[in-house]
Structure formats: structure tokens, C-alpha cells
Structure 1
């Protein structure tokens, strides 16, 4: 059976019509975002948990020959542009290794946002503090080959920066380099999340990672220790646990009450929506 013949001019006119409908919907979406911005009244326009929900839903419903990861790129650019429409966003980037890979991750996630390189993690985090709520940092994954920066998050200041996203959010297996976003706000639950928790044990306290993990599980916060570092006479342990944690979580107080002789502090260091893997073509 012979292949049907198509008129190229007709097909191009059809594409133009589709482009017009897409453009109309983009303008309509921007108008809705403006109404949302008015309702927020000065709150941060960045909602990592909501962005994760949008992308998960689109990836789950995607069909056809267009790669799902391409859809994610388009929507990331759209989300970033509409976020900047509400308020300026700049990125402080630090990466001791794989710098170009981390830059590509930041660019893919934040679109045309201005990106500044910083030689040290402390400089990148300082940029957040000095950014008036309009600067986020992109850093290597904690406990990676250049991820020993995470103890800088071990502060009890309510306004401290925290991890709010893990990137790339939509993955296609082309790279194993990962980053996190550190921001001057907290993120909510997306439906499938993990948190970083720093446990501080004081000088003279001898407790294994395994026993700390048992303490967390007993308190309803199962997880695993992914790194430990010395800070002065204290030892800082970074745990990755299920779900979203914030300073008000009652489980943290219960953990300290039950094991205050072993644990000096528990400090939530942020949460992130677990990334998704894009299906193949």
C-alpha cells in the first residue's frame, strides 16, 4: 500500500495554527500567574514543590514521539520566565568539580536568570544572605566529591538558607552529575519528598551512625547517614530521611527529649521533591 501524499504547504499552515493556539495559551497562563502574584502579596514566587507536581503530572501523561525530557525543558523555561515576571531571580553557582555540568543544570532549571560563579561555598551562601530574597545558590550534591560544604547549613537561625530542590529534576540518564538549590525560604510537600537533617553530637559523645539511625527510626524519621564531619569538638552527621521536615516538627523535640544525652542538636537543612526519570522515546 502506497504512503499517503501530503501537501507541505498545508502541513506548514497547520503548524502555524497550532503555534497560534499555543501562543494564546501561553499568554493566558501568564495572565493567571499575574493574578496569583497579586494574591501572594510579596511572598516568594518560587514554589519548588508546586513546580515538581506540574512536571510529574506532565511526564506521566506524555505520549508520542517527542522526548519527555524535551517537554520538561520547555516547561522549565516557561516556569522560570513566569517566576522572573513576578520578581527578579539570580543564581549563585559554586562547584569545585564538573563546573560546566553544574552550570548546564542551573541554566536548564532557571532559564535566562543571571548566574554568578563563586569560588567558595561560603561566598555562594553569602550571596543568598545579601540578595534580599532574590538570590538562590546552586551547589554540588551534599556529600559528593566536592560536597563537604553542607556543615555551613548547621545554623539555628530561623532565616538560614536551606536546600529546596535536587537537580536535574527530570532525568534522562545522560549525566550522573547532580546539584541542589539552596534558598532563603522553605519548601512544602510535593507528594514524594526527602529531607536533609543535621545531627550534632558533642565532644566526648561516642555514638555510631547506625545507632543514630536507630534513634531516628524510633522517632518516626527513618533515614540514612550520608556524611559526617568534625566542627571544632563536635561531630556533624548529615542524614537523608523520608518526607518533609521543618523546625516545628514535633518529632525533633521528641528525639532530643529522649536522647539529649547523646544528641546535642537536630537541625533541618532543607527538603526536596524526589526527581523523576523521563521515559525513553
Structure 2
């Protein structure tokens, strides 16, 4: 290829770069207009809307540019514009130096978002409740957790956070060489998308086995997963379960009413703890 032809191609790349830059600046102006229209409302996280944007872009994508790179670029772009709308900061659970949650948070919310580390899950939850952070990053609950953090957001109190999303948004992404995951918490949002999973806290007045709870759900035709339990011997009148399902579970559902009737223990509480958009699979990013 001649030097003249290469020079022309480089000019074309420069023209495209300028166009991208112009559009980014134009988008920033639209975001400024949105912020002005909202007034003093400040940042409102919209994880459902963000997931829809990424799915739409992936669906229309073609050519050799990697879809995984497209997702990372747009995550950086969306986070930068979100930061323009107000105070955007992250509180990240870091039980020891080098924990992967820091990298997951940075990948999701960009290089410009301030982050603070917290040695305890209560510190993360407290930072979100107080407004010091708009986003909290916490471990995905497991059945072996002896003091699960999600029980601390089982509350009707003001500014109690909810689960908003799951990291990473692409299930193929590795963090420090391993596939690590985390959940994002923030102030409650009614923003949802089609492909979601929902978390519900279920409270009984006495200890109940997970096997019994799962059997009772299956008996009423509800396919759920138990992602955590909590029972304190000193509080024998409270046994909590973290239920994950592809729908919002409410007490006015016919299936839940039958579930409650069939349960040997009394169901004393039920509350949605949040939801997350299902991450992209490796097949979706091919």
C-alpha cells in the first residue's frame, strides 16, 4: 500500500475520531439539559435503562469490533455522563487488600468515579444510606454466609438501599484471573428491564429448613432459588431467607397465598430487596 493511500486512511480515521468527539460533547449537552429539567433531584440510578441501552447496541452491532469492548466503552461513557448529573461515588467492600470488588466496581462505573474502601459490609451500607456514596459494592450472597449483609437491608426504614445490579455485566469478564461477581446496592429504583432476576426476603417466626421452603415453593408451582439464610439462636422468632426468582414475589399472589397456608411456620414478613439485569452471556458477545 502506498504512503499516499495510508495517509488518506489516517485522515479518514481522524475524521471519524472528530465525529465521535463531537457526538460525545453533544451528548453531554443533552445530559446538562436533563439535569436542568430535573432540578435538585440529583443522581438517580437507572440500571434497567442502562441494560436496555447495552442490549440494543449489541443487537445492532456488526463488523469486527469486539462486542465485549463495546460494552466496556459504553459503561465508561454512561458513567461519565452519570457523574455530570451530581455526586457519584462508590463504597466498595474490601475485607483485605487486593479484593476483586474494587476492580469490578471500577470496570462498571469508570475511571473517573471516586471510590472508598470499607472493611465491613455495614460500612458500605451505611455510606449509601447517609448519601456519602450513591453506589455500594458487596459480595454475591451465599448459603455459607454466617452473618449475611442482605439482612441489614430488610427494612422499611428511610433511605434503606436495595439491590440494583450484578457485576460484571458480561459473564465472560475475568477479574484478577478469576470469575468474580458482586452486587450493586443503591437507593431504591423503580427502573426495570425485561430480563431480570428479583430478590425477596422471606421471614418466618421460627427456624425452617431450606429443603422445606424449596419443597413448598415447588408445590405451588414457583421455581425459585434460595441464596441465603439467617437464623440467630438469640432471636428464635425470626428466620430469614433470601429468595431469588424471575418475578417479583408478593403476598397477594395466589401462589404465595397458598405457600403461606401450606407453611408449618408462620410467614411474618416479606419484602422485595431488589433486582438485577441478567448479565450478558459469552454467546451474546460473540
TM-score by length of 1: 0.85
Q: Which residue of 1 aligns with 2:63?
A: 64
Q: Is the alpha carbon distance of 1:113 and 1:25 closer, same or farther for their aligned partners in structure 2, counting shifts above 3 Å?
A: same
CA contact (8 A) 1:220 1:251 kept: no
Cα distance in structure 2, aligned partners of 1:220 and 1:257: 10
Report the secondary structure of 1:113's partner residue: coil
Cα distance in structure 1, aligned partners of 2:94 and 2:220: 35
Q: Is the alpha carbon distance of 1:107 and 1:249 closer, same or farther for their aligned partners in structure 2, counting shifts above 3 Å?
A: farther
Unpaired runs of 5+ residues, structure 2, are none
Q: Which residue of 2 aligns with 1:74?
A: 73
* RMSD between aligned residues: 2.9
TM-score by length of 2: 0.83
Q: Which residue of 1 aligns with 2:273?
A: 269
Report the secondary structure of 2:184's partner residue: strand
Shift of 1:15: 0.5
Superimposed CA distance per residue, residues 64-107 of structure 1 (whole angstroms, 9 cap, x where no aligned partner): 22221111111011100100101111100004368442111100
Cα distance in structure 1, aligned partners of 2:66 and 2:107: 16
Cα distance in structure 1, aligned partners of 2:248 and 2:97: 29
Does 46-55 or 140-149 show the bigger shift? 140-149
Q: Which residue of 2 aligns with 1:242?
A: 246
Q: Is the alpha carbon distance of 1:266 and 1:179 closer, same or farther for their aligned partners in structure 2, counting shifts above 3 Å?
A: same
Cα distance in structure 2, aligned partners of 1:31 and 1:249: 45
Q: Is the alpha carbon distance of 1:148 and 1:99 closer, same or farther for their aligned partners in structure 2, counting shifts above 3 Å?
A: farther
Cα distance in structure 2, aligned partners of 1:256 and 1:131: 40
Cα distance in structure 2, aligned partners of 1:157 and 1:120: 21
Q: Which residue of 2 aligns with 1:169?
A: 169
Superimposed CA distance per residue, residues 102-139 of structure 1 (whole angstroms, 9 cap, x where no aligned partner): 1111001111111100010001111111116x521011
Cα distance in structure 2, aligned partners of 1:98 and 1:235: 33
Cα distance in structure 1, aligned partners of 2:85 and 2:129: 20
Shift of 1:250: 3.9
Query: Which of 189, 194, 197 is residue 191 of structure 1 equivalent to?
Result: 194
Q: Is the alpha carbon distance of 1:195 and 1:27 closer, same or farther for their aligned partners in structure 2, counting shifts above 3 Å?
A: same
Report the secondary structure of 1:196's partner residue: strand
CA contact (8 A) 1:256 1:264 kept: no
